[in-house]
Amino acid sequence: PAPAEAGRAPGPPDGGWGWVVLFGAFVSIGFAYAFPKGLAIFFKEIQDFFGTSYSEIAWISSIMLATTYGAGPISSILVNRYGSRPVVMFGGLLCGVGMISASFCTSILQLYICVGFITGFGLALNLQPSVIIIGKYFLKRRPLANGLAMAGSPVMLCTLAPLNQFLFDNFGWRGSFLILGAILLNCCVAGALFRPIGAGTALVKTQVAEEEKDALKGKITEGGPMENKTEEEGGKDCFEKVNQYLDFSLFKHRGFLIYLIGNVLMFLGFFAPIVFLAPYAKHTGIDEYSAAFLLSILAIVDMVARPATGVIANSRWVRPRIQYFFSFAIAFNGACHLLCPLASSYTGLVVYSSFFGLAFGMVCAMLFETLMDLVGAARFTSAVGLVTIAECCTILLGPPIGGILIDTFGDYKYMFIKCGAVMVLAGTFLFIMNYYNYRMLAKEEKERKTKEEDPKSVKTENEGKKNWNKDSTQDGPELEPLREEGEGVKKEMNGT
């Protein structure tokens, strides 16, 4: 744990309380991803109760998913402003309130609001800050931490599914929603663990120099005096103010754009196979329980794959080239889907599920790690918000498009081919673009080293929430002395 505040290195601790935070993030992320999926058990009963069609019920899931991803920027803004902890606790409270009020609903519209919007929004406030705070507590072991935290999703799903069934058998859907509301309040507990960490506002210049030497990957940690100065400079126009809360200048960031395009493309084919795996199995004549078992296999392999990927991604050989590993994982995923139509027997589908679980886990484990790697922990807060709202559209479109393909052709294989093709394309795109990006960064690095110019955008490891890049150029003179002291100024992307 951290020593006295005055002497604390503002660099991420990579351990200590970080492991507790990791556990909290594990729970929080688990709820955020697994809860919407776990609700599916109640849908048949609710459908009968309100006398609606299946598609009207499916809207609950869609609204929830859309809100969870769409509220990303709002979540980011709140974290930028208030830090992770209050946001997660408020999110947990919101989820709880949403589900509790859902248990008293008398119409499907009310369910849309309570379960869809309120709980969805609460989950969004859970997801982003959890991912963000991992970046604040871990650096050297960050891929591992990310992998472990993301493993929360399959673990929670495996826990929630039988739990939901049990609650439903004993309490009906209303009682279950009430109790689930209470269970979601545990996100507040997870949030309480997210002790704020960051550069204090009382750091001295010499301290900063020391820290720069200590910095593991050469990230700059600049201190409070700068922050105060920027605050005082005031006179911000609207655009700058918005930029302060949500960094739109990220759209000029090459790595960010690459990630955004690649991921938006990938999500078109990411979730559809899971949605249709069980129906496809039943379609080929497999009984219901064996079909459900396929999903269990997927979840179990996923559970193991995520931390394992974290370990691999953390290793010395992979970490500098983690973007390649990510692209490979996506392409591997796509290849699995393309090969799926060849599997006609149950054993074939079991093999497919295992590989799919592996690939799915690999991609998920590195999903946020690669973004952190590209933009750095300081801008990650805004980056993740912008990325999730962009992904929101394709995530929602993916399964319906798959469904249309299945209905039109009457055959599942076209859906698998479409998903596989999209993902292989996304993987290849990311691979090529990141190769280009790595080269450009190496070139820029060389230029900076030889010329010792002011880089146009100084990336800062400021756990506070302010974004610098607009202001840093104005602060040129103040930054100079610091930079001279820290020769080892590098951009985040550089491998060790």
Partner 1 sequence: LLTDVSGTALEKNITLASPTKVELTCKLDENSNLKNPQVTWKRGSETISHTSKTPNSWTIQLTISESSQLGSYICILKGEIEVSATFHLQVPKIDGKEKRIITYEADRAVMVCKTEYDPKAWTWYMTNGTELVPINKILPTDKFQIKRQSGNVNRLEILKLTQEDRGVYWCEAAFELGSSKGRFELKVLSITAPLKPFIAIVAEVAILVTTIVLYEVYSKKKEKGAAKEFDQIEQL
**Residues lying near partner 1 in the complex (CB under 8 A):** 1-7, 48-49, 51, 89, 168-172, 174-176, 178-179, 181-183, 185-186, 188-189, 192-193, 195
Count how many Cα atoms sit within 13 Å of the Cα of residue 10 in the half-sphere of its side chain: 27
Q: Which is nearer to partner 1, 169 or 232 (CB)?
A: 169
Rounded distance, CA 412 to CA 407, Å?
Answer: 9
Q: What letter represents residue 208's amino acid?
A: V
Q: Which is nearer to partner 1, 52 or 457 (CB)?
A: 52
Q: Which is nearer to partner 1, 52 or 296 (CB)?
A: 52
Rounded distance, CA 487 to CA 449, Å?
Answer: 9
CB of 463 to partner 1, least distance (A): 17
CB of 247 to partner 1, least distance (A): 30
Rounded distance, CA 174 to CA 169, Å?
Answer: 11
Q: Which is nearer to partner 1, 51 or 477 (CB)?
A: 51
CB of 306 to partner 1, least distance (A): 26
Q: Which is nearer to partner 1, 175 or 476 (CB)?
A: 175
Q: Which is nearer to partner 1, 189 or 350 (CB)?
A: 189
CB of 173 to partner 1, least distance (A): 8
- Any residues with CB less than 8 A from the CB of 243 and at least 6 apart, and which? 249, 467, 470
CB of 319 to partner 1, least distance (A): 32
Phi, psi of 460 (to 5 degrees): -115, 145
CB of 177 to partner 1, least distance (A): 9
Q: How far is CA 14 from CA 83, 117, 205, 216, in A?
A: 19, 36, 24, 11
DSSP secondary structure string for all residues of 350-407:
HHHHHHHHHHHHHHHHHHHHHHHHHHHHHHHHHHHHHHHHHHHHHHHHHHHHHHHHHH
Q: Which residue has the tokens 């601790």?
A: 13
Q: What letter represents residue 446's amino acid?
A: K
Count Cβ atoms below 10 Å from residue 289 Cβ, excluding itself.
Answer: 7
The end-to-end CA distance of the chain, in Å, is 26
CB of 38 to partner 1, least distance (A): 16
The conformation of residue 321, written as its DSSP 8-state character, comes to G
Q: Which is nearer to partner 1, 2 or 397 (CB)?
A: 2
CB of 6 to partner 1, least distance (A): 6
75 contacts 129 by C-beta, under 8 angstroms: yes
For residues 348, 349, 354, 356, the Cα torsion angle rounded to the nearest 10 degrees is: 120
Q: What letter represents residue 274's amino acid?
A: I
Q: Which is nearer to partner 1, 191 or 273 (CB)?
A: 191
Any idea what the Cα angle at residue 407 is, between residues 405 and 408, rounded to 5°? 65
CB of 355 to partner 1, least distance (A): 36
Q: By C-alpha distance, which of 294, 364, 329 is closest to 152?
A: 364
Q: Which residue has the tokens 């609460």?
A: 122
CB of 452 to partner 1, least distance (A): 35
Rounded distance, CA 2 to CA 357, Å?
Answer: 38
Q: Which is nearer to partner 1, 179 or 359 (CB)?
A: 179
Count how many Cα atoms sit within 13 Å of the Cα of residue 16 in the half-sphere of its side chain: 12
Q: Which is nearer to partner 1, 195 or 413 (CB)?
A: 195
Q: Which is nearer to partner 1, 92 or 135 (CB)?
A: 92
Q: Which is nearer to partner 1, 192 or 342 (CB)?
A: 192
CB of 184 to partner 1, least distance (A): 9
151 contacts 306 by C-beta, under 8 angstroms: yes
Phi, psi of 325 (to 5 degrees): -60, -40
CB of 195 to partner 1, least distance (A): 6
Q: Is 3 exposed, middle or buried (0-12, 13-18, 19+ CB in 10 A)?
A: exposed
